[in-house]
Structure 1
Amino acid sequence: MTRSRWHIRVGAIVFAWLTALVVVALLHHSIPISAWLLVHLLGLGAAGNAILIWSRHFTDALLRRPPDSSRAGQAWRIAVFNAGAVAVIAGMVAGVRPAVAVGGAAVAGVAGVHTVTLAAQLRRALPSRFGDTVRYYIAAAALLVTGAGLGVTMADTHLPGAVHERMIFAHAAVNVFGFIGLTVLGTLVTLWPTMLRTRMADGVEAAARRGLPGLLGGLGLAASAAALGSAPLAGAGALCYLLAAGYVLWPHLDEVRRKPPVTFAAGSVLCGVVWLLGSLGYAVIAFATAPSWPALLDRAGALTVPVLAGFLVQVLLGSLSYLTTVVAGGRAAAIAAGTALERGAPWRLTVANSGLLLCVVPTPSLVRVAASVLVLTAYAVFLPLLVRAVRQAHKHRDTPSTPGLPPAGPPLRQRIGVAAAGLGVVVLTGAAGVAADPAALGIGEPPTAAVTATGHTTEVEVRIDGMRYLPDTIEVPAGDRLVITLRNTGSDRHDLVLANGARTARIAPGETAVLDAGVIGGDLDGWCSVAGHRQMGMTLKVKAVGAAPDAPPDHQDTESITSDAVARSLAASPPAGFTPRDAALGAASPDHRVTLTVTETEKAVAPGITQRLWTFGGSAPGPTLRGKIGDVFEITLVNDGTIGHSIDFHAGALAPDAPMRTIQPGERLVYRFTATRAGVWLYHCATTPMSVHIANGMFGAVIIEPPDLAPVDREYLLVQSEFYLGPPGGEVDAAKVATGDPDLVVFNGYANQYDHAPLTAAVGERVRIWVLAAGPNRGTSFHVVGGVFDTVWAEGDYRLRPGSGGAQTLGLSAAQGGFVELTFNEAGHYPFVTHVMSDAERGAHGMIAVGPAAPAA
């Protein structure tokens, strides 16, 4: 088989993995463990195959060894590697742990054989100038054996949560910076000057040889840090790796100075290397200053996007772009393939890198989402271009080569213009995101008061401590301009809003913002606009000294939805096309690895009434989890909101310090617990003020079945909660929450929805209804009108079993849960309510439509 045909065939495997990556990225909201899946489709599938294929190719070339003409051994290794990768991914998605273990063992086995093969080739070969590159490949493959072993071990659901988190850190460091990072750094020794078409700089080989021990030492320190849970040691490991990588790459700067990159391949690889160094620099600072190991894990999560999307994807696409022309099969074919791959290159590089920058710096969530779509588009375009390049190469493979230099690319001015167009797209997208949510950046000119300006500026520093501003009273001479420097020394995200409209952006702990309040003509109120924080005491008073006695305070509040509007809504029907939340409860899932993404979503909560809810997974209640005693749950919380959030699972019994901590926007944490007791358990956000976070949608149910649970014909879940309505389309009214007097009380997030879309049953069927009172303030007295419960189970035990007795209600306080069972003897419509009748009249009402008994088989 010719070299060209071999590489086109095996290159199709990499192409398939990249295509799967794009598909999952587009559909990630509807795919289980999509974040894990994206990482492994890229790192294990696409990058793993590319390294396995090309490291062998470069080893043969550098050691001047002819490749195996049959390539049978390589083909078998690639086949086993891909079978193992597919088993790992399919096993994780389906929750089949043995498949993960077998697949991981196959990957580790192939990596081990690859290590031995390369080492044997190096040992048998004559001394080579570039033998050190092969040593990078050997070390990288050996580290994959370790990384795969860690991955298989992590599949054990009985690992303690703290051990599992440390192994995740070690697994990521060894695979990304070891297996992938060492391969890239070693390959650049020869590939980079070849891509630039310039001579190799002096000292490149020596730097590579001397830098390898430092790279391995940094990885060793990182692995030790994971074992010990030491943040300073992790920072030392990152620093060691960064210094060694900088030492290895330093001589290549001479090559860049002599021949700046002008092709997509060279530009993409250069951008990827810059993202690698920048990510390592962040890791050094973030890890070394982390106050604890859990805090380090939060900060490490911020490396996912820059390392994978910034470094790995760009190096992979750039390398594939160049290598496709190398194996095209002749000069004419290489030129044709290269021309196809250069289409829109400046635009793609600019959009990808400027879009990634918006994704990693503090920006509103809408801006990040829009930027991520642009980045995905810029990367996905590479796939059809690659197909076109291969076709063009095949078309021109028999075209005679012509002497002379290859044709020049577009002129510099044209490339700059295309890049500027790409930058313009990103800037406009960012501007549109800010325009959609200007409050997130505190945009707006400070208004001036109707008072004679003195021309003097009063400057004040205000510090945030917990839920207080210090000082909380500021005296300003009337007519002075007021400038406040706000320092967030607390542990959550806050802002400062003044009643005249001046405001800061929401700032994270450790950040500072400057607020220009304008000319002060009268007293002003100030507060934190994060829902509930004002009610918790985050208020500030600006006193205008010397102002006219009748100067009115400048303060306007946005009106919340009125009681009349609520009454009209409860009497109305949902709009056409309304889809109720499915109350039917499915069987327990075998896989309890779930990603819950915090999103801020405007949703209807009653006919004609919408609120901007904070949600777990886009719905309120959040997704329902169901399992059995002994099951291990692993929940990855991702905060895509604009303020800090957390999660508390009542079904887990573990110290809340780390897993229930508040994480800031863009951060993630892993919450791992073993279900040891049966119950209908609440999970909710535990960030202060907890009542406001729950009332604005952050709650859900976990059902752990009692061991003796009997089969029934139908099962439903009803989660009762309350809404304290803010302005139309706005967030919860925290002042109403404090009174405990809700506007709406609902089942499954929408008032009276099951009146308009009844639950169903048939005469003689046994029906089980699980009920959870999510609160935050009120419980329930659940009752089915016309029905009698013969089974009642609440808070972990049976209160009534089938016999002569019956029950009329299931009484639950806030955060309690249980179930009832009953059968219906007659067809008809059976209302269900909370028998706190005022709450039933606020929306906690529904219907069960019972049809005739099914005919006997």
Structure 2
Amino acid sequence: MNERGSWHLRAGTVVAAWFAALVVVSVAHRWVPQSGWLLVHLLGLGAGSNAILIWSGHFTDALLRRPAGGTRRADTARLIVFNSGAVAVIAGMLTGWWPAVVAGGCVVAGVAGWHGTTLLQRLRAALPSRFGHTVRYYIAAASMLPIGAGIGIAMANVGLPSELHERLVLAHSAVNVLGWVGLTVLGTLVTLWPTMLRTRMAARVETAARRGLPALLLGLTVGVVGAIAGIPLVTAAGALGYLAAAAYVLEPHLDEIRRKHPADFATLSVLAGIMWLLGSLTYLTVGLATASTPLEASETAGSVTAALLAGFLVQVLLGALTYLVPVVIGGRAAVQGATTELERGAPWRLSIANAGLLVCVLPVPSLVRVACSVLVLVAFASFLPLAVRAVLVARRLRGMPSKPGRPEPVPARRRIRAAAAGVGVVVFAAAAGIAADPAAVGISTADTGNVTASGHTTEVEVRIEGMRFVPDVLDVPIGDRLVVTLVNTGTDRHDLVLANGARTGRIDPDETATLDVGLVGGQVDGWCSVAGHRQMGMTLTVQPTGAVDDRVHTEHRPDAQAVSLTSSDVSRSLGAHPDAGFVAHDPVAPATSADHRITLAATDEQREVAPGITQRLWTFGGTAPGPTLRGKVGDIFEVTLVNDGTIGHSIDFHAGSLSPDEPMRTIEPGESLVYRFTATRAGMWMYHCSTMPMSLHIANGMFGAVIIDPPDLPPVDREYVMVQSELYLGPEGGEADADKVVADNPDLLVFNGYANQYDHDPLVSEVGERIRIWVLAAGPNRGSAFHIVGGQFDTVWSEGDYRLQPGTGGSQTLGLFPAQGGFVELEFPEPGHYPFVSHSMVDAERGAHGIVEVR
């Protein structure tokens, strides 16, 4: 192996390291802060950018016929400095330290400029070259990264207005993905593609590449200007121009494909990546053209992120490396051995990756998307062990005689069988996801019953308006077949379930579903099965008409469900002790933080809420209540809500004052949104899910607290947080009983999500210490009368103002209506066990009780 090849292999380990980190974060994304942002940048800023720096320099040297000798110190230095900057950017974003983001971004931009300048100097110093226009693609791409880095630095400043931030997100993505990455790929394919196919270059390839570069840059410029200006139609025009220019540059390569069909992993992976690029650009152009606001444009761009990064960037990168790694190793036997290793399972890996990605970008149920995304990850991640094996095999075979002739290609029939098997795995995974949630795709078990068919069909259109079916009574002649067209003109996701087992899947706003109910022989009840919607009035009745004697009544068969827990179950639980190893919800108030970039995942979690009683809660961040946030007046919070649950959710921060139209909208499983607000007023503020019915979403765990400190808040020895809420118990292991919520009949009143937990794991203090207890009445329906038995409050602060400050007076209770908050301060005069309760005594007896142990 020559020195140049050896250097490229060593440098390639940097790309592999970033890719390995990407795989690790993908697996653990639910427990990693800002995982969505991190995944994108591990791939784009890490693996992708390092590959571009390494290989664009390699191709420049090869195309300009620069001598192979010379030191690689400058190239090595660029990689070291670049990766230092990339790590600083990522560390700064994860820790919320903006100076690190600024410093790292400037380093990244500086190295990109250094790289582009180096390529330009090499181009000018070389003799006229047939492929000099390819180097110009690299130079143009290198000029894009400093622009993208600058926009990224600006975006990292959470002080930006929300709309401007969304504009910059779109511009940042376009410059980096279509400029830095896209231009590099399109320029490289001029010579690499026919080389990979082992065929001669098509006649018009060079001309198209030379003429296409200005058009690509023009389209990209128009798109970025439109994004920053907040004019989606101009952005769409830029995307269309870039798409047309890319198609013009790529079209001559079709002649090469006609002459030599792609047959190995390297060529098929690159070809698949290009198809994903063109498809994504087409979707993006249409989506931007129909977007009415910058936010809608940004959401459209976000919806094609997976297709562009996983479909385009990853596949082109893996395909190119599969070809290039053996080439730089050198030696015929070593190349053959390395290629054989990298081609293992090629049809299977390609079919799983592309079929899985296709399923993921379609509007499929959440469980289906999760299952298929895991398969895609496995298909891509398999490259890493294969690459290691390839290098080891190549080293073993270096210098050994090669087998005569070319290696025998894998028979086409065998490749097709392997590819079909991969598609079969994806289909099986999708079927498993559907089996786990059949209602999500509208699987019906309609039963016609013992009814004489009339031979007629009654067709009815039912609209969803707000939380009502319109009409909600369907008069249908007995014996008629009923077909319902359900039109969702509401703002949330809904479905229609009938007592005879017929049901639609859940449909989004502006979508339509058709339900074949079967023959009507009697009255049939219907409802929306989304949690709480039935209790809010989303019911419907199929009313038969005709002779009474001929009717066959349809048995009322509601969704099968276990019986909700009873008062006797609750009584036994309140008298029991938690299992050994029980740890109470941490009551200690968090310190005031300077970093207010938070990712909150909405998840479904099985949690014990009282000894021996478990419920499936909907949570923010995996706990109910969700994490307590804390800051000061003037702080800016940026919260990314990610819906990893099974139904739609939203979030409403009382600590901010802003229009609720966009940030408080409901997002469906798999979606995310960014909520920004400025804390302009002090308070103990509530946040909660605002998806209807709010009462059920809050009762099932979707609430938390935000503390915005009053100015000059004095220090104390200890601070605690108590969030009081109600539990309306459903069946064991199930969700809250929506009927109990509507009836305002709670089973338990709790502090921090668990009945009487601080009886079993008390708060602690010492005689003479000053303690502050923040209290929030999260409801959804009941307030709190917070009282400490044996204690007297000398300070009471409620709803933004002091009600009492140290003096001769005292207070016995902090009274709060639902969603109100405040704090109390006191000192304990002697050791002992001081109970704290809600002094609505029936609530204290249902679990709103704890102890402060004073030593």
Normalised-by-shorter TM-score class:
over 0.9
Structure 2 counterpart of 1:502, which letter? A
SS in 2 for 1:476: strand
- CA pair 324-631 structure 1, distance change in 2 beyond 3 A: same
Contact 1:333 1:392 in 2 (8 A): yes
Greater displacement, 41-50 / 576-585: 576-585
Cα distance in 1 for residues equivalent to 2:776 and 2:69: 66
Cα distance in 2 for residues equivalent to 1:697 and 1:553: 37
Contact 2:163 2:295 in 1 (8 A): no
Q: What is aligned with 2:765? A: 761
Contact 1:301 1:668 in 2 (8 A): no
Contact 1:531 1:733 in 2 (8 A): no
Deviation, structure 1 residue 425: 2.7
Structure 2 counterpart of 1:493, which letter? R
Deviation, structure 1 residue 531: 2.1
1:532 aligned onto 2:527: no
1:505 aligned onto 2:509: no
Output aligned runs, 1:39-438, within 5 Å: 39-66=40-67, 69-401=70-402, 403-405=404-406, 407-438=407-438
Q: What is aligned with 2:577? A: 573
1:654 aligned onto 2:661: no
- CA pair 790-191 structure 1, distance change in 2 beyond 3 A: same
Task: Flag structure 1 segments of 5+ consecutive residues without an equivalent.
Answer: 853-857
Deviation, structure 1 residue 144: 0.6
Cα distance in 2 for residues equivalent to 1:38 and 1:547: 65
Aligned mate of 1:805, from 800, 806, 809: 809
Q: What is aligned with 1:855? A: none
Q: What is aligned with 2:598? A: 594
Q: What is aligned with 2:645? A: 641
1:543 aligned onto 2:543: yes
Structure 2 counterpart of 1:38, which letter? L
Query: Please, what TM-score do these two structures have when normalized by structure 1?
Result: 0.95
Q: What is aligned with 1:824? A: 828
Q: What is aligned with 1:782? A: 786
Cα distance in 2 for residues equivalent to 1:419 and 1:830: 69
SS in 1 for 2:548: coil
Q: What is aligned with 1:473? A: 473
Cα distance in 1 for residues equivalent to 2:580 and 2:194: 64
- CA pair 770-536 structure 1, distance change in 2 beyond 3 A: same
SS in 2 for 1:439: helix
Contact 1:298 1:663 in 2 (8 A): no
Cα distance in 2 for residues equivalent to 1:214 and 1:601: 52
1:839 aligned onto 2:849: no
Question: Kindly, what percent of the aligned residue pairs are identical?
Answer: 67
- CA pair 161-813 structure 1, distance change in 2 beyond 3 A: same
After superposition, give the CA deviation of every residue in 1:154-188 in whole Å (9 maximum; x if it has no partner): 22232222212211111111111111111111111
Cα distance in 1 for residues equivalent to 2:155 and 2:303: 21
Greater displacement, 166-175 / 727-736: 727-736
After superposition, give the CA deviation of every residue in 1:173-230 in whole Å (9 maximum; x if it has no partner): 1111111111111111221222222222332222222332332233223212222222
Contact 2:629 2:707 in 1 (8 A): yes
Cα distance in 1 for residues equivalent to 2:614 and 2:835: 25
Contact 2:449 2:554 in 1 (8 A): no
Contact 2:604 2:645 in 1 (8 A): yes
Cα distance in 1 for residues equivalent to 2:648 and 2:150: 35
Contact 2:790 2:834 in 1 (8 A): yes
Structure 2 counterpart of 1:514, which letter? T
Contact 1:791 1:821 in 2 (8 A): yes
Contact 1:522 1:547 in 2 (8 A): no
Deviation, structure 1 residue 832: 1.8
SS in 2 for 1:222: helix
- CA pair 409-623 structure 1, distance change in 2 beyond 3 A: farther
Structure 2 counterpart of 1:196, which letter? L
Cα distance in 2 for residues equivalent to 1:547 and 1:641: 48
Deviation, structure 1 residue 711: 2.6
Contact 2:202 2:256 in 1 (8 A): yes
After superposition, give the CA deviation of every residue in 1:618-667 in whole Å (9 maximum; x if it has no partner): 22222221222222211112223344322211111222222222333332
Output aligned runs, 1:606-755, within 5 Å: 606-755=610-759
Deviation, structure 1 residue 553: 5.6
Contact 2:778 2:820 in 1 (8 A): yes
- CA pair 276-619 structure 1, distance change in 2 beyond 3 A: farther
Contact 1:523 1:542 in 2 (8 A): yes
Cα distance in 2 for residues equivalent to 1:437 and 1:569: 32
Cα distance in 1 for residues equivalent to 2:577 and 2:448: 47
SS in 1 for 2:329: coil
Structure 1 counterpart of 2:538, which letter? M
Structure 2 counterpart of 1:27, which letter? A
Query: Please, what TM-score do these two structures have when normalized by structure 2?
Result: 0.95
Cα distance in 2 for residues equivalent to 1:247 and 1:472: 55
Contact 1:787 1:830 in 2 (8 A): yes
Cα distance in 1 for residues equivalent to 2:246 and 2:647: 36
Deviation, structure 1 residue 439: 2.5
SS in 1 for 2:325: helix
Contact 1:301 1:667 in 2 (8 A): no
SS in 2 for 1:327: helix
Contact 1:302 1:667 in 2 (8 A): no
- CA pair 468-29 structure 1, distance change in 2 beyond 3 A: same
- CA pair 291-540 structure 1, distance change in 2 beyond 3 A: farther
- CA pair 139-446 structure 1, distance change in 2 beyond 3 A: same
Contact 1:298 1:668 in 2 (8 A): no
Contact 2:590 2:629 in 1 (8 A): no
Deviation, structure 1 residue 17: 1.1
Q: What is aligned with 1:493? A: 493
Say how many residue pairs are matched.
850
Structure 2 counterpart of 1:354, which letter? A
Contact 1:580 1:753 in 2 (8 A): yes
Contact 2:451 2:552 in 1 (8 A): no
Cα distance in 1 for residues equivalent to 2:509 and 2:128: 56
1:561 aligned onto 2:562: no
Contact 1:165 1:670 in 2 (8 A): no
Deviation, structure 1 residue 4: 1.4
Contact 2:365 2:434 in 1 (8 A): yes
Cα distance in 2 for residues equivalent to 1:564 and 1:304: 52
Greater displacement, 832-841 / 24-33: 24-33
Contact 1:297 1:669 in 2 (8 A): no
SS in 1 for 2:810: coil
Contact 2:92 2:100 in 1 (8 A): yes
Deviation, structure 1 residue 431: 2.2
Deviation, structure 1 residue 576: 4.7
Cα distance in 2 for residues equivalent to 1:320 and 1:352: 17
Cα distance in 2 for residues equivalent to 1:433 and 1:753: 37
Contact 2:446 2:517 in 1 (8 A): yes
Cα distance in 2 for residues equivalent to 1:44 and 1:564: 58
Deviation, structure 1 residue 111: 1.0
Structure 2 counterpart of 1:26, which letter? V
After superposition, give the CA deviation of every residue in 1:33-63 in whole Å (9 maximum; x if it has no partner): 1211111111101111110111111111112
Deviation, structure 1 residue 80: 1.4
Deviation, structure 1 residue 578: 4.1
- CA pair 214-733 structure 1, distance change in 2 beyond 3 A: farther
Cα distance in 1 for residues equivalent to 2:691 and 2:723: 21
1:450 aligned onto 2:454: no
